[in-house]
Amino acid sequence: MQKTTSVSALTVLDLHDTLLEMGVTTLEQMTAAGLHREQLIDHGSHALPAQEQRLDESLLLKLWQLAANNSELPHIGLLIGRRFNPATRGILANWLFQCTQVSEALDVFQKHIALMNPSEHWTFSEVEDSLLLQLSFAADKPYPQAAIERSLSAWLRWCEEMTGQAIRPRRAEFTFSRPAHHQAHVEVFGDHLVYDSPRNCLQLPRSVLDWPIRGADDYLKQIVEQRALQHFERLQAKCELLARVRQLIQTDLQQGVSIEKVCKELHVSRPTLYRRLKQEGTSFTQLVGEVRRNLAFEQIRQGLPVAQVSDDLGFKDVSTFHRAFKRWFNQSPGEYRGRQRGARTP
């Protein structure tokens, strides 16, 4: 049986209840989609605490599809993101609320996001006096626009809850086109919005990093952190194979990726590697594409010459790299750099 990614059970439960409460879907629709609330949390005597329970990611994706199909609330992702329910804080959220300041919380969040959803990826960087927060979802998971809007707006709301301070981005970028509910974006993210960008990104004042988190308790943090790390290590053990294969692919890109070499490094046969990757819901070809895509975006963003990036990633020529980049990001490397220059122009 094919293995699938697991996510925080409380994340699924919260979205399930929110969609029903907002009238986005009905119990009949939930049932038809195979979603039964009583099965989302195990209340048995030997069950893990609800904050540590996991569910198949497909359940979360079904809920997001139901949300995306609601034409009466096209800004449903923003509405969900701005809600705050302390009762559905999972183990990661509880850890964040005990951190000393935002910089510590961001570091914990970035490194341990798999405790919530391993298909959601965040990166944080400092550029001059700004803090850049970038969000992406695993390319092979069909998360809709509403999920992107929810995650970006939720981060702002949770930061406000942790610090007690209002936060307003200097700029926000989205990979999707300008929506009909653009004004709802303005209300959440401010006036400086960029659509059809190759990234989902929030630009904030760097000073946010130094904001203290109210109510943080060092004793509670030690307890939650220890428990969270134990849980995280169990999850990581399951992901160890994929991480190792990705690492070997990246090392081998310029010389030409060889599955035979990867198999040799892992001391497994080719059929065994194929089988194990299939059990994890992916393939060697798919992993090569993911590694190339992520590195292409990062190196082009850093301003490296297109020819160098093409060579580093093992493409046979620059034109092949151009086609791949446009397929991944709906624009050429030159068009992306033009947008970057335009964004920096006062």
Q: Of 51-65, 107-121, 138-152, 281-295, which range is least confident?
A: 281-295
Enter the pTM of the model: 0.70
Both tokens of 299, joined, read: 């190196």
Question: One-letter amino acid identity for 160?
Answer: E
pLDDT 10s digits, 68-114: 888 788 999 999 999 988 888 999 999 999 999 999 999 999 999 99
CA angle 258, 264, 268 (to 5 degrees): 110
Q: Of 187-196, 215-224, 335-344, which range is least confident?
A: 335-344
Q: What is the pLDDT of residue 97?
A: 96
Q: Phi first, then psi: what are they for 211, rounded to 5°?
A: -65, 130
CA angle 203, 205, 211 (to 5 degrees): 125
Separation between Cα atoms, residue 93 and residue 90, nearest integer Å: 5
Task: Quote the mean pLDDT of the chain.
Answer: 89
Q: What is the pLDDT of residue 279?
A: 67
Q: What is the pLDDT of residue 345?
A: 47
What is the DSSP track for 110-136? HHHGGGT-TTEEEEEEEETTEEEEEEE
Q: What is the pLDDT of residue 2?
A: 37
Q: What is the pLDDT of residue 150?
A: 96
| Contact partners, residue 75, CB within 8 Å, separation at least 6 | 149, 179, 181, 184
CB neighbour burial string for 102-120, b if at least 16 within 10 angstroms, e if fewer: bbbbbebbeebbbbbbbbb
pLDDT 10s digits, 115-161: 999 999 999 988 889 999 999 998 878 899 999 999 999 999 999 99
pLDDT 10s digits, 311-322: 999 998 999 999
Q: What is the pLDDT of residue 227?
A: 93
Q: What is the pLDDT of residue 238?
A: 64
**Residue 195: closest CA among 149, 241, 264:** 149
Helix, strand or coil for residue 8?
strand
Question: What whole-number percentage of the chain has pLDDT above 70?
Answer: 95
Average the pLDDT over 249-256 and give the result.
Answer: 85
**Residue 238: closest CA among 341, 118, 98, 327:** 118
At residue 239 the predicted structure's pLDDT band, cuts being 50, 70 and 90, is low
Both tokens of 189, joined, read: 């993210």
Average the pLDDT over 234-249 and give the result.
Answer: 79
pLDDT at 341 over 90: no
Both tokens of 195, joined, read: 């659509």
Using an 8 Å Cβ cutoff, are 120 and 137 in contact? yes
pLDDT at 223 over 50: yes
Q: What is the pLDDT of residue 69?
A: 85
Helix, strand or coil for residue 200?
strand
Helix, strand or coil for residue 201?
strand
Helix, strand or coil for residue 92?
helix
Separation between Cα atoms, residue 311 and residue 12, nearest integer Å: 42
Q: Are strands 130-137 and 193-194 parallel, antiparallel or unpaired?
A: unpaired
CB neighbour burial string for 268-279, b if at least 16 within 10 angstroms, e if fewer: eeeeebeebbee
pLDDT 10s digits, 176-205: 999 999 999 999 999 999 999 999 999 999
